[in-house]
């Protein structure tokens, strides 16, 4: 629920949304209900498109996580082995490890028979690492050979991989060029609208017009200057791109990711061991 609230807040609470809503309230005050409804509708639809796309992506990813929820083999006190979800692991549990297992937690090897672990997810090195009794093993690494028993010493965010994940989550994504351009244009035009409003107020106040008439003129000028339709147009275009990607079985989590991918010219990666294979093979070139 907190994730959904954060998505809603991110899409519905922003300076431009608040400014347009204040403008709509001013229109209601001067009884211009049609214009108030129109600009409110435009900005709400724009925010709704972004929120719905993010929530749909979040729900789809959670369903995939549940469908592929990994399980670990835990040795019970009576010697029987049971499978439990990673979330159910506790410090002190004994794991039974086999070739192909992804380690669910940090631990210490109790006994091993030819145990080799691929730690490329942590180190970037694809070469297998031999593990013997007493050695430390880490979550998110993979058993590539042998069998072993290990005692869990850390789970979840307390693991080495969990600590790395926590740091990565603190990264604040930068606005895309389109977002920066739109924000810059809106900022300039908004300041221009404020200056224009002051000039209109001074001009008509000196002319002796009533305050309501002056306010109507200012609001009309502000609606003309502030490009509330620009946000909606950009969101609709990105939403169309999202639908095209969905047809290709690609699920963008944010609309801005579509623009970011469109601007991608060269993708550079460091360690090939962190990919699906440590051999880079050219298969085909595709134009988008």
54-96 pLDDT tens trace: 777 777 666 655 554 578 889 988 888 888 887 788 899 999 9
For the chain, the distance separating the N- and C-terminal CA atoms, rounded to the nearest angstrom, is 36
What six digits make up the tokens of 164?
A: 């790395």
Between the CA atoms of 208, 213, 219 and 221, what dihedral angle is there, to the nearest 10 degrees?
Answer: -60
Task: Provide the percentage of residues in the chain whose pLDDT is more than 70.
Answer: 82
Q: Is 2-65+170-271's fold the same as 71-167's?
A: no
Alpha helix ranges (H) inside the chain = 2-12, 15-29, 33-67, 120-123, 160-169, 177-206, 211-225, 228-247, 256-262
Residue 38's pLDDT is what? 78
Under 8 Å between Cβ of 38 and 20: no
Asked if residue 276 has pLDDT above 60, the reply is no
Residue 230 has pLDDT above 70, yes or no: no
Q: Which pLDDT score is estimated for 180?
A: 80
d(CA 114, CA 137): 14
For domain 71-167, is the CATH number 2.60.40.740? Answer: no
Collapsing DSSP states into helix, strand and coil, what is residue 75? strand
- Whose tokens are 């991608």? That residue is 264
Closest CA to 221 of 200, 250, 247: 200
Domain boundaries, the chain: 2-65+170-271, 71-167
Token pair in block for residue 265: 């010219």
Query: Could you count the other beta carbons within 10 Å of the beta carbon of residue 228?
Result: 21
Pick the CATH number of 2-65+170-271 from 1.20.1110.10, 3.40.630.10, 1.10.645.10, 3.40.50.620: 1.20.1110.10
Instruction: Supply the DSSP string of 133-181, one letter for each residue.
Output: TT-EE-TT-EEEEEEEEEEEEE-GGGSHHHHHHHHHHT--PPPPHHHHH
């Amino acid at each position: 629920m907190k994730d959904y609230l954060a998505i809603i807040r991110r899409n519905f609470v922003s300076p431009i949304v608040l400014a347009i809503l204040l403008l709509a309230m001013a229109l209601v005050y001067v009884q211009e209900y049609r214009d108030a409804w129109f600009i409110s509708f435009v900005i709400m639809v724009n925010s709704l498109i972004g929120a719905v796309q993010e929530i749909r992506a979040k729900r789809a990813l959670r369903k995939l996580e549940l469908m592929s929820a990994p399980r670990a083999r835990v040795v019970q006190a009576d010697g029987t082995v049971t499978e439990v979800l990673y979330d159910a692991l506790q410090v002190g549990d004994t794991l039974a490890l086999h070739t192909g297992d992804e380690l669910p937690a940090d631990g210490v090897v109790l006994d091993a028979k030819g145990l080799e672990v691929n730690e490329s997810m942590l180190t970037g090195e694809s070469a297998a690492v031999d593990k013997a009794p007493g050695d430390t093993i880490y979550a998110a690494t993979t058993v590539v050979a042998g069998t072993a028993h290990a005692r869990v010493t850390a789970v979840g965010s307390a693991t080495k991989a969990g600590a790395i994940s926590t740091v990565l989550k603190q990264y604040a994504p930068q606005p895309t060029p389109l977002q920066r351009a739109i924000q810059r244009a809106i900022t300039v035009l908004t300041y221009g609208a404020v200056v224009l409003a002051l000039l209109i107020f001074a001009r008509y106040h000196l002319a002796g017009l009533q305050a309501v008439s002056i306010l109507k003129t200012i609001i009309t000028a502000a609606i003309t200057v502030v490009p509330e339709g620009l946000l909606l147009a950009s969101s609709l275009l990105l939403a169309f791109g999202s639908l095209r990607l969905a047809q290709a079985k690609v699920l963008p989590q944010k609309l801005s990711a579509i623009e970011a991918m469109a601007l991608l010219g060269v993708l550079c990666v460091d360690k090939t061991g962190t990919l699906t294979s440590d051999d880079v093979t050219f298969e085909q070139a595709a134009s988008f």
